[in-house]
Amino acid sequence: MTINVKVGEAKTHLSELLAKVEAGEDVVISRGDHPVARLTRVPNRSDVAAVIKEILESRKGRQKTTPEEIKAWIEEGRR
């Protein structure tokens, strides 16, 4: 979910907004009606490692993709 706030509100409630960002929400800061900045959570290394581990586990036992299949997918994407 994205939260939209004006600059003044962001200054006043920065700690609260950072807590929401840490919880996974995005915050867009606007000057008037024009968005100028976005606060997003910095990925945690352990989060990335967990995702990589999950991907590797899901790929176990599958046949390896051949270079010919990769070339065919590339060509298909160009059409």
Residue with the bigger pLDDT between 43 and 31: it is: 31
Q: How confident is the model at residue 26 (pLDDT cuts 50, 70, 90)?
A: very high
pTM: 0.57
pLDDT at 49 over 90: no
Q: Give the pLDDT score at 29.
A: 97
Q: Of 63, 57, 56, 2, whose CA–CA distance to 29 is shortest?
A: 2
Compute CA 62 distance to the chain's CA centroid, rounded to the nearest angstrom.
Answer: 27
Integer Cα distance of 8 and 11 in angstroms: 5
Q: Of 31, 27, 30, 1, whose CA–CA distance to 16 is shortest?
A: 27
Q: Give the pLDDT score at 70.
A: 93
Query: Do 40 and 26 meet the contact criterion of CB atoms below 8 Å apart?
Result: yes
Which domains occur in the chain, in start order?
1-79 (3.40.1620.10)
